[in-house]
């Protein structure tokens, strides 16, 4: 039961973080879904940091790992919004923006995950 509570709490906090980023109104600046990309990239960075911490230090409990990785990062990132926004871009024939959205989410999220993991390796040398 403790693990479910940890995922629930972390997911709620991650969703609040994602909602806070979504509330930043930049729609007048761009047609590109920057808010979702920002949430996904920041979540990937945090995931990398958390994974790096957990790999470096075995003293974190499985509950804390569930709270931060499955809960918070899962609630903070938003694959469903990314998918919907990409399909909307295709629907309105904004093909370059749609393909850019796919490319940027994939490349930046992987890059920032690796950066997050690398930050800790650099700090613990």
pLDDT in tens, 2-51: 999 999 999 999 999 999 999 998 767 888 999 999 999 999 999 999 99
pTM of the full structure:
0.89
- Are 98 and 89 in contact, with CB atoms under 8 Å apart? yes
Convert the pLDDT of each residue in 104-118 to its tens digit: 999 999 999 999 998
What is the C-alpha separation between 123 and 25, in angstroms, rounded? 36
**Are residues 14 and 72 in contact, defined by beta-carbon separation less than 8 angstroms?**
yes
Burial of 104 from C-beta contacts in 10 A (0-12 / 13-18 / 19+): middle
pLDDT, tens digit (0-9, with 9 covering 90-100), for 47-83: 999 998 888 777 789 999 999 999 999 999 999 999 9
């Amino acid at each position: 039961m403790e693990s479910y509570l940890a995922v629930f709490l972390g997911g709620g906090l991650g969703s609040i973080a994602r909602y806070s980023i979504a509330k930043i109104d930049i729609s007048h600046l761009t047609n590109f879904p920057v808010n979702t990309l920002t949430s996904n990239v920041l979540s990937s960075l945090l995931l990398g940091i958390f994974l790096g911490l957990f790999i470096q230090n075995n003293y974190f409990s499985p509950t804390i790992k569930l709270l931060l990785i499955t809960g918070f990062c899962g609630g903070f990132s938003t694959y469903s919004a990314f998918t919907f926004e990409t399909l909307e871009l295709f629907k309105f024939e904004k093909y370059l923006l749609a393909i850019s959205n796919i490319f940027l989410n994939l490349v930046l999220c992987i890059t920032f995950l690796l950066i997050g993991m690398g930050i800790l390796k650099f700090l613990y040398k």
